[in-house]
Amino acid sequence: MTTMSLMMSQSASAVPVESGVSRALAEYRSANISDVSYDLSFTIPQEKDKPVSFFETLTFRWLGDEDLQIDFQGQASQLDGIIMVNGKAVDARVINEHIIIPSRYLRMGENKVMIGGCSGDKALNRHDDYLYTLFVPDHARSVFPCFDQPDLKAYFTLELDIPDGWVSISNDTEKPIPTYLFSFTAGKFQVQTAMRYGRELTALYRETDPDKVAQLSTVFDQVALSLSWMERYTGLVYPFEKYGFVVLPGYQFGGMEHPGCIQFTDHEIFLGANPSPDEQMTRLNLIAHETAHMWFGDLVTMRWFDDVWTKEVFANFMADKISRDQFPDLNHDLAFIKTHYPVAMNTDRTRGTHPIQQPLDNLNQAGLLYGSIIYHKAPIMMRKLEQEKGADALQNGLRSYLRKYAYDNASWDDLIAELDRFAPQHSARSFSDVWVKQQGMPVICCDPAGNGEAEVVQLDPYGRDLIWKQRFDVSFIGDGMATSPQWVYMDQLRVPIEVTSGTSAILNCNGEGYGRFVLDGEAIDYLSGQWETMSDEKNRYAAVLNLYENCLMGNVSAQSLLDTFIKFLDHEHNELVASTLCSDLITLCSHIDGPYRDHSEQRLLDMSRSHSLQSVRQMLLRQLAVMAISPTVVAQLYDIWSQQGSSLLNNRDYIRMAYHLAIMRPDKWQQILATQRGRLTTADEENEFDFISRACDPDQQVQQQLFNELLLAENRRVEPWARTMLALLNDPTRESISNRYLIPGLDALEDVQRTGDIFFPGYWLSSLLGGHRSSEARDIVTQWIDSHPDISPALMNKLLENAYWLLEYGQ
């Protein structure tokens, strides 16, 4: 058979042949390609050092007049050398991560391309006896040639040749899906099925602890209830044929919404003994989140990844609603505020904040769009939009949107247009123009005007005079008492309000408002002194949020607030309020030095033994176990660890505790690690421990060598292990030597982003920077930022977000 070479240069195509998947390329292909299908087969060898091979038949309709670019993040040497294009054999050429098919070999209408070769390992996540694929946002092209963009949905058929004793699960759907949702998992797994409401559910897992495996019954129940709730809310039946999931150790996300083969991380599905309310709610929210994606993201998919947040906002928004049915006794308004407000503000107050909707020119940068703004600020925005439009109007608009774009693609603006068909007097578009398309949050204060009047003022920290439309309540302090709250609707920059008593305002009394609410000294003293008298738990939670934010703004000292919050926690009986108090106390304590820190750590340890709420005792002990530096507290923690003397801690807690104690007690580090390893019961646990625990070695040369290894992508393959090791190497107690890691760690950032999964750049930066407090470290990072003006804005935002504490409070 004769062959024809693909002699193609970049200049011959109107769409440049550039690495990644550019928006220009995606738009051209979307206009000229349709009816895509992939017939795929993979051969997976027993040995993970041998390549996975593939063969595919790619079929599509073609209307274009340019050369065709098929995405392939590999080398021509990985291909078999011959590509069949409509029955003609062609030499394989790869240019800038694309296989180029000259237009002369294509025909108008149906085309068929047959390609064989070896897959790259980047997205195969290979382990000794299992693997799983994770293609979001654009990693399918590293495993097989494809059109790796969300708006070219395709039909997939799959055949796997796997080793004896392995099982597999895949999408197995007759519906079209984009490449980032295609997935398969294969390996040595246990399989369990269950029937719920006439639907079969399937789970693959590696867990061997019978008490944890027994939790699958609860997981199946929560899946089934989430499916039923989504069907009722949307008016559409589950849009795919089957519901299966895999529970994976060392998984780099919480979950991923592949239809028919969802992936979950094991430690959020299989909970330890005595799980806290937060852990139980996290599991439910994770299951509900991934289930909601079957409609929002899988049934209707964004056209381009600049709207990736639209699938995430609805997954979280729906998960919060589903939890109301499954935990009916919980204060869900408070739970919503606790889940989303502090996390969103942790990013929104930093120089690294950004709009919910961000620009994106190439899918190889899409991973940088993910973060707290799209996962947590977006649901806050959505709830406020629901308040603007009305719950019924929003639901009707969403139902119309899902029906109109089922098994297709849509943009946020398409959704806005659909929503504004219902309750058009409340414009979703003008609301979106600020909340979605602009960065930041308002700073809100009260300006007393005298004569029984005042104005509530919202300030735009970026000087744009934006108006964040929202409602919250305000009360005033007079004669040592707070007046009844008044609702304020902030639809302008300055809103008048009646003052019935006093002049000092407590803004956002019930926590519904989003922003930085400035309190004066009288309001701070009132909240600090009268907090215990507040019977409403939302009011108490709002007081915690307000006081903490005012501490960060310099209106309250950290030491004073730490004392206040310890007093609050000692009397708090609501687990949601108490949970945030615990988190804030640990943060405040970690930023205080000297004898007062030692004293505060002991007070918190004492409270971990005596507080009336088990969840508080557990959370404080867990946090102290990985951050305490007081010698007396560390000694007490060592006794707890050595005797495994607390039923509040599970196996994972004791492992983390061992890492910290090995660093704090260098004279016993080998003994501690050997003892802890002897307690492990599975090969998966041992592999993880053996990788991470090396960072506890007190030898500085060993630490340097381990850090150098992390600079190589192949040593970051299991990302949760890599980020834990990096954090241990940069433990606060090691800062005098770990400052030397900052420049090479930041220099590696672009490679980390290029080779890692979507959340890993943020995790890398958090682990690299989180243990640094010194002015020396602050100067190093500041100089690095100043000397890298050309780094991508999205990547710089990640750095500025994670460097917040160091840049603002380094000393």
pLDDT tens digits, residue range 33-73? 999 999 999 999 999 999 999 999 999 999 999 999 999 99
pLDDT at 130: 98
Whether 316 and 378 have beta carbons less than 8 Å apart is answered as: yes
- Residues contacting 454, CB < 8 A, separation 6+: 446, 447, 448, 476, 496, 497, 499, 503, 505
Rounded to the nearest angstrom, the gap between the alpha carbon of residue 259 and the centroid of all alpha carbons in its chain is: 19
Q: What DSSP line would sit under 524-535, residue for residue? A: HHHHHHHGGG--
Asked whether 507 and 456 are in contact (CB, 8 A), the reply is yes
Count CB atoms within 10 A of the CB of residue 521. Answer: 10
**Confidence label for 4 from pLDDT (cuts 50, 70 and 90):** very low
Q: Which residue has the tokens 């108090």?
A: 581
pLDDT, tens digit, 9 for 90 and up, residues 769-804: 999 999 999 999 999 999 999 999 999 999 999 999
- Asked whether the predicted pLDDT for residue 18 surpasses 70, the reply is yes
Q: In sequence order, what E strands does 251-388 have?
A: 255-256, 262-265, 300-302
Dihedral angle, C-alpha 602, 604, 605, 611, nearest 10 °? 140
For 249-285, what is each residue's pLDDT tens digit?
999 999 999 999 999 999 999 999 889 989 999 999 9
pLDDT tens-digit readout, 90-116 = 988 899 999 999 999 999 999 999 999
Do strands 470-478 and 486-490 pair parallel, antiparallel, or not at all (unpaired)?
antiparallel
- DSSP per-residue codes, 219-239: HHHHHHHHHHHHHHHHS---S
% pLDDT > 90, the chain: 92
Angle at 43 between CA 40 and CA 44, to 5 degrees: 125
Q: Which pLDDT band holds residue 478 (cuts at 50, 70, 90)?
A: confident
Mean pLDDT of 495-524: 94
Q: For residue range 564-580, what is the model confidence (pLDDT) as tens digits?
A: 999 999 999 999 999 99
Strands 243-248 and 262-265: parallel
Q: Quick one: pLDDT at residue 166? A: 98
For the segment 160-165, the average pLDDT, to the nearest whole number, is 98
Residues above pLDDT 70, as percent of the chain: 98
What was the pLDDT predicted at 532?
A: 82
DSSP per residue, 619-646: HHHHHHHHH---HHHHHHHHHHHHHT--
Inform me whether the pLDDT recorded for 501 exceeds 90: no
Measured between alpha carbons, how far is 15 from 27 in angstroms, rounded to an integer?
10
Quickly state the pLDDT bin for 448 (edges 50, 70, 90): confident
Helix, strand, or coil (residue 367): helix
Question: What's the rounded mean pLDDT across residues 694-718?
Answer: 97
Write down the pLDDT at residue 503. 81
Residue 464 burial class via C-beta count within 10 angstroms: exposed 0-12, middle 13-18, buried 19 and up: exposed
Q: How confident is the model at residue 6 (pLDDT cuts 50, 70, 90)?
A: very low
Q: Please say if the pLDDT value at position 13 is more than 80.
A: no
Band of residue 811 on the pLDDT scale cut at 50, 70, 90:
confident
In this predicted structure, what is the pLDDT of residue 91? 87
The amino acid occupying position 771 is G
- DSSP-derived pairing of the beta strands 88-91 and 82-85: antiparallel
Q: According to the model, what pLDDT value does residue 227 have?
A: 98
Residue 451 scores a pLDDT above 80: no
Average pLDDT, the chain: 95
In tens, the pLDDT along 211-225 reads 999 999 999 999 999
For residue 5, pLDDT beyond 50 = no
Phi, psi at residue 289, to the nearest 5°?
Answer: -60, -50
- Give tens-digit pLDDT for 279-333: 999 999 999 999 999 999 999 999 999 999 999 999 999 999 999 888 888 899 9
Give Cα 189 distance to the centre of its chain: 26
Cα–Cα dist 39/156, whole Å:
6
Count of CA atoms in the C-beta half-sphere (13 A) of 256 = 26
Locate 641 and state its tokens.
Answer: 């660890």
Q: What per-residue confidence (pLDDT) applies to 2?
A: 33
- pTM, two decimals, is 0.94
Bond preceding residue 359 cis, omega within 30 of 0? no
